[in-house]
Amino acid sequence: MSARRRPVKRLLLAALGAAIVAAIGTGAWVYLSPRGFAGNAIERYGSAATRTSVRLERIEISPGDGTGSITGFTVGNPGGFNSPAAFSADSIKLALDPATLGKEVLVVRALSVTSPRLSYESGNAGSNFEVLLGNIRHQAEASAGAGSQGPKLIVERLVVHNAALSYASALTAGKTVTIPLPDIRLSGIGRAEGGVTPGRFAQAVVEVMLDRIRRAMSLEPMRGGAK
């Protein structure tokens, strides 16, 4: 991972992906707890870090091999934006290394998000994704000042595949269009540092996601607009 994409140090639990992927990290850490507790933890920590509503329908993990899924995951938009959610995914697959359970650093072998839906909006304080990212950073600074420490992760492989971005702009005459986003593929996150907090992981992913959004939107007029 390039220096430009390396996560900023000492970030607290967040959601992401947006924002969302930090919440996934949190859920992975507490997966041995009852499902209700794990789901509540993801929603509680994700919502606090992003200052939005983070919700999921179900979380399932197999204690035997560490594989599992999160279904019905959504990250709400910050205040001042119109659409109800910035990010939603029907299903997120994950695989943990069972040998690292209960250790200081939890290894996530694979994290796969397929066909998520992203809604991008501009506002007076910037886009909704920029505001979400700013919220994560603000919470991290407050946590660092308080000396808070959290669990650490190494994520061996992350894939966000077949994402769809909806947005409206002056170039689309205010009409909402939907375009595909290039896949995100990251590997070895946290390996060099010996593990990163879920919040640091989240910021890295959201930064890359925001970069993909900006590039896709800038290229769209050259393709003649989305259908």
Write down the pLDDT at residue 37: 57
Write down the pLDDT at residue 38: 62
Write down the pLDDT at residue 49: 76
**What tokens were used for 168?**
């409206």
Q: What is the pTM of this model?
A: 0.76
**What tokens were used for 69?**
């899924």
Pairing of strands 105-114, 117-120: unpaired
Residues 6+ apart with CB under 8 A from 32: 63, 101
**What tokens were used for 105?**
């650093």
Write down the pLDDT at residue 1: 45
100-128 CB burial, b ≥16 within 10 A, e <16: beeeeebbbbebebeebbbbbbeeeeebb
Adjacent-strand bridge partners of 108: 96, 155
Q: How much is the CA Rg of the chain, to the nearest whole Å?
A: 17
CA distance 92 to 111: 7
Report which DSSP code applies to 53.
-
CA distance 70 to 60: 7
Query: Shortest CA distance to 22 belongs to which of 102, 103, 136, 113?
Result: 136
Report which DSSP code applies to 179.
E
Residue 216 phi, psi dihedral angles, 5° rounding: -65, -40
CA distance 81 to 84: 8
Length of the chain, please?
A: 227
CA–chain centroid gap for 32, Å, is 22
Q: What is the pLDDT along the chain (227 residues), one digit of tens a residue?
A: 444 433 332 232 333 333 344 444 444 444 444 345 567 767 877 787 788 888 988 888 776 788 888 889 999 999 889 889 999 999 999 898 888 876 788 888 999 999 999 999 988 888 999 998 998 888 766 755 555 555 678 999 999 999 999 998 766 767 888 999 999 999 999 899 898 777 777 778 888 899 999 998 887 654 554 44
Write down the pLDDT at residue 111: 92
Write down the pLDDT at residue 36: 58
Write down the pLDDT at residue 88: 94
